[in-house]
Amino acid sequence: MPKTKEKELVRANIMIDRELLKSIDNFAKDLEEDRSTAIRQLIKRSLLEEKVMLAIRRLQEGVSFRKAAELSGLDYWDFQAELDKRGVSVTFSLAFAKRRTRQ
C-alpha cells in the first residue's frame, strides 16, 4: 500500500476576541470538527479568496493572464473558471482598455 504524504503541522499562536472564538467554535461544532481543523479550513479558504481577488485586481490593472493566474495560485483553467463565476472578462483590464483607445 503506497504511503500518503502527510503535511507537517506547526503550532502558531494567535490572539482573537472572545466573540470570534465563539463563532469559530460554533462553526467547528457544525462541521463536527475540532477547533484547529476548523481554523485551518477557514484560513485556507480565506487565503484562496484573497489571492484570487488580488489576482483579479492585478489583471484589471494590466498584468498578463498568466501572471494573474500565478498570483491566484490556480492553474489557468481554474482561474478562468473563477473569472467566469465572478463575471470578470479577461479582456476587461485597464491595459486592454488603454490599448483599445489608442487604436
Name which of 77, 83, 76 is nearest 52 in CA terms.
83
* Predicted confidence band of residue 4 (pLDDT cuts 50, 70, 90): low
Please write the tens of the pLDDT for every residue from 49-96.
999 999 999 999 999 999 999 999 999 999 999 999 999 987 655 555
Contact assessment for residue 68 and residue 58, using Cβ atoms and an 8 Å cutoff? yes
Grid coordinates representing 17? 476576541
Q: Domain-by-domain residue ranges, the chain?
A: 18-102
* Predicted confidence band of residue 102 (pLDDT cuts 50, 70, 90): low
